[in-house]
Amino acid sequence: MRLAFVTPRYGPEVLGGAETQVRDYAERLAAAGHEVEVLTTCALDHHTWLDALPAGESRLAGVTVRRHPVTRPRDHALAARQQPVLDSGLRLGESGERAWVENTGLSEPLLEAIAATAPRVDALLFAPYLFASTVLGAAVRPDRSLVIPCLHDEAYARFAPVQATLRGVAGLIFNTEAERDLAARLLGTLPSHRVVGEGFEATGAVDGPGFRRRHGIEGDVLAYAGRRERGKNYHLVLEYLTLYGRALSRRGPVTLLSMGGGPLRPPPAARPLVHDLGFVSHRDMLDALAASLASVQLSRMESFSRVLMEGWLSGTPAIVDSGCAVTREHCAQSGGGLWVGGAEEFAEVVDRLRTDPGLRDALASAGRRYVARRYSWPAVLGRLEAAVREMAG
């Protein structure tokens, strides 16, 4: 097949679940013999949308990448006016929503490239859902467009221009059944759609004890890996950790191995309980997960949650929020993790994991088997190829 991915930012220096997923898909499909190109902007930062890379064509891991300059510079004053309105739970109105979308790295040359590319490829694949490259790009040739939305239950998913685009395309590719159900609730009638998910390889040997030695870590630890921001409920991780350590634990406090970047810092009460590792290599992250009682992921803004899978592959069970349909579904289907609805339940679960190594092993093994069964690369690529053929055909 000849395929073109369209994504606002692309490259190994771009962090983020959806961005990693697009790169993985593009590289794996290219390695499987498909002709794959990526249409993207020159930007790397989704706050500034400044052109950081040169425009033009390059090759990256077997994939042809065509970059186009951002032609609508970020209007920070507009963003500063609109964000408080959204944060207050209010709507921007359709023209405001359109202005919001156009303020996310709009590139007119990219839209022209999409129009020029559409006739010579079997499908255009857009991801994720909320940026100008998808909302406006997939509307250029909706009949040739498939969107991998990576949808979250958030204000942007209710924007009228976003919903119009998602309803009008040839097909949607979801990461989980729970994401599909969310889309059905938001959009009403869905176009053709399939559930595919992300692919993983076995991690190889992980070294939890070595990680402990290297970082001088003693005692029981939990792990958090991801963006440290309110949207990911990191503040709730810190709160539960603090309440557990200072009031609820029957076995004393635990330490949180905190990995990633973001604006949230632990409040004074939580600081002694947090071991801040900042950004770490992928290998170190897997070792840190292996050294931990559980990976804690209380975010409700997930369309898939890579870190849950990586925890299971590292031999670590998961603790997730009962209000997140996606992560809860993963745990229920795999038998690899437990969901909690408050600090007291969190404490009860952590106490059980600390006292019952057999439970920990059984949860982690079930999680690992789930990843191997459903999200091995051969299984995922098979579903992806079938989805593209059936929906773009």
- Least distance in angstroms from the C-beta of 7 to other proteins: 27
Q: Are 28 and 317 in contact (CB under 8 A)?
A: no
Under the binding rule (CB under 8 A), the answer on residue 161 touching other proteins is no
**How many beta carbons lie within 10 A of that of residue 290, not counting itself?**
23
Site for other proteins in 325-344 (CB under 8 A): 331-332, 335-344
Stretch that binds other proteins, among 48-56, 90-98, 237-245, 376-384 (CB under 8 A): 237-245
**Nearest of 115, 125, 196 to residue 392 by alpha carbon:** 125
Enter the tokens of residue 165.
Answer: 């685009």
Task: Please tell me whether residue 51 adopts helix, strand or coil conformation.
Answer: strand
- Least distance in angstroms from the C-beta of 369 to other proteins: 8
Q: How far apart are CA 372 and CA 275, in angstroms?
A: 31
Please identify which residue in 95, 247, 251, 355 interacts with other proteins, judged by CB under 8 A.
Answer: 247
- Per-residue contact string for residues 174-213; x = within reach of other proteins by CB under 8 A: ----------------------------------------
Alpha carbon 3 to its chain centroid, in Å, reads 22
Q: How far apart are CA 271 and CA 364, in angstroms?
A: 28
Which is closer to other proteins, CB of 216 or CB of 268?
268
Under the binding rule (CB under 8 A), the answer on residue 293 touching other proteins is no
Stretch that binds other proteins, among 90-98, 207-215, 263-271, 274-282 (CB under 8 A): 263-271
Helix (H) or strand (E) holding 321: strand 318-321
- Per-residue contact string for residues 353-372; x = within reach of other proteins by CB under 8 A: -----xx-xxx-xx------
Q: What is the dihedral of CA 360, 362, 363, 369, to 10 degrees?
A: 140
The HSE-up count of residue 9 (CA atoms within 13 Å, CB side) is 23
Under the binding rule (CB under 8 A), the answer on residue 55 touching other proteins is no
Residues that bind other proteins (CB under 8 A): 77, 80, 229-230, 235, 238-239, 242-243, 246-248, 263-270, 322, 331-332, 335-345, 348-349, 352, 358-359, 361-363, 365-366
